[in-house]
């Protein structure tokens, strides 16, 4: 990626964050960074993987998560501050992206953060690989030596974790490798998040500071796919799309199925 493309993209994202309550268009953003609308959209997508409109929507939902954790009783005021004009639209979009309604998100946050923290000193055991499958997607995650926390790995239909993954898992302690089998045929992006242990529930749901990882290209999965990939976790970059989906909830649901 070219430095000037990254710079323009980061400027546009900063503008979005400062004007979430406004009806922002791609044309406005293009003017702000001195590009034509066509070239701006192309550059933005090449840097972030998604369109400016998609990115803006994710920012608004992510901001909604933060506001709900701070002041859940002020929902209408929150909506105006992040660019939504309708409670119904916000509820629908929030559930599509995060996985639960805004009310349930807030009500579950303390319990899910406590659920996460139990695995700081306890091995997490999820479902085993299907040894009879002709398909194998093996992911080895490299994390900094200093990292202590939970690692989430998922196969997503788009290069942003704003919905439930087609397949996903989590790892803690010294485990750094997972294998997916029986994945439906399709094209997916392998996205990874490293969430440090925390006593603050917000840090498990608003993941601006979490480590990130992505396999550099989409993977095309068939019944006979056999892929081995290594993904290195890194610090978040200013143009990384928000991690919108509720990862602790996905972990809880998957672990519940195993039991």
**Residue 72: predicted pLDDT:** 61
Angle between helices 87-98 and 52-70 (to 10 degrees): 100
CB 169 within 8 A of CB 187: no
**Residue 257: predicted pLDDT:** 66
pLDDT digit string, tens, across residues 181-240: 999 999 999 999 999 999 998 999 999 999 999 999 999 999 999 999 999 999 999 999
50 has a pLDDT exceeding 70: yes
Residue partners of 243: CB distance under 8 A and separation at least 6: 161, 193, 207, 210
40 has a pLDDT exceeding 80: yes
43 has a pLDDT exceeding 90: yes
**Residue 245: predicted pLDDT:** 97
The percentage of the chain sitting over the pLDDT mark of 90, rounded to a whole number, equals 74
Topology alike, domains 3-112 and 124-258 = no
Residue partners of 70: CB distance under 8 A and separation at least 6: none
259 has a pLDDT exceeding 60: no
Per-residue tokens: 202: 């917000």
Indicate the domain borders of the chain. Answer: 3-112, 124-258
**Residue 105: predicted pLDDT:** 93
Would you state the CATH architecture of domain 124-258?
A: Sandwich (2.60)
**Where is average pLDDT lowest: 20-34, 130-144, 245-259?**
245-259
Measured CA to CA, the distance from residue 127 to residue 254 in angstroms comes to 9
CATH of domain 3-112: 1.10.10.60
pLDDT digit string, tens, across residues 118-153: 999 888 877 667 777 889 999 999 999 999 999 999
């Amino acid at each position: 990626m070219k430095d000037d493309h990254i710079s323009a993209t980061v400027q546009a994202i900063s503008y979005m964050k400062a004007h979430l309550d406004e009806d922002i268009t791609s044309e406005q953003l293009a003017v702000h960074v001195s590009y034509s609308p066509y070239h701006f959209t192309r550059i933005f997508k090449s840097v972030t993987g998604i369109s400016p409109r998609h990115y803006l929507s994710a920012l608004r939902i992510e901001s909604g998560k933060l506001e709900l954790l701070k002041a859940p009783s002020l929902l209408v005021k929150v909506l105006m501050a992040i660019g939504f004009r309708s409670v119904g639209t916000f509820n629908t979009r929030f559930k599509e992206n995060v996985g639960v309604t805004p009310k349930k998100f807030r009500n579950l946050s303390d319990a899910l953060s406590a659920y996460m923290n139990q695995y700081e000193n306890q091995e997490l055991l999820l479902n085993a690989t299907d040894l009879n499958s002709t398909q194998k997607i093996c992911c080895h995650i490299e994390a900094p030596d200093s990292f202590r926390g939970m690692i989430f790995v998922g196969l997503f239909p788009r290069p942003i974790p704003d919905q439930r993954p087609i397949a996903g898992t989590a790892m803690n302690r010294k485990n750094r490798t997972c294998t997916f089998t029986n994945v439906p045929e399709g094209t997916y992006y392998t996205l990874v998040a490293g969430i440090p242990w925390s006593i603050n529930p917000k840090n498990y749901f608003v993941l601006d500071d979490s480590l990130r990882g992505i396999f550099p290209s989409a993977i095309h999965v068939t019944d006979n796919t056999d892929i081995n990939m290594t993904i290195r976790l890194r610090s978040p970059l200013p143009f990384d799309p928000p991690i919108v989906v509720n990862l602790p909830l996905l972990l809880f649901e998957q672990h519940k199925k195993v039991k």
